[in-house]
Homo-oligomer: A and B are copies of this chain.
Amino acid sequence: MVEFHAARLDNTFHALADPTRRAMLKSLSVHERSVGELAAPFQMSLAAASKHIKVLEKAGLVRREVKGRTHVCRLDAKPLSDVRDWLRYYERFWSERLDVLEALLREDTSAPPAPPRGKGRTR
């Protein structure tokens, strides 16, 4: 079960590690698209775009439905919620960083102002 989950995370992270594939997901978040529509904005062959779509499908991020001659692609965000769940454990670490930064800023603003220069001379 753990290994299966790990393999799924591998596929999802791998799918997300490419700007074209992330742009395809964004495009599908607006509307379902045919393979041709999905490939159109990118300067690459249909074969290259198709490879990217297959990586997204393997990760379960894209579902493809054949309607006659057209392959319609849809976003499935479920694997992204698994990534969010995986990230939760680490949340404390970046929160701690922010806490330290906040404490430093507070220290800085609550510290008494430095004595004016040459104060000793006025006595």
Contact = CB atoms under 8 A, between A and B. Distances in A.
A84 B91 contact: yes
A29 interface: yes
The count of identical subunits is 2
Contacts of A16: 9, 13
Nearest to A61: B90
Nearest to A79: B94
B19 A10 contact: yes
Interface string A5-41: 0100110011011110010011001000000000000
Contacts of A90: 25, 29, 77, 80
Shortest beta-carbon contacts, A-B, top 7: A77-B93, A13-B17, A81-B94, A14-B17, A13-B16, A77-B94, A6-B19
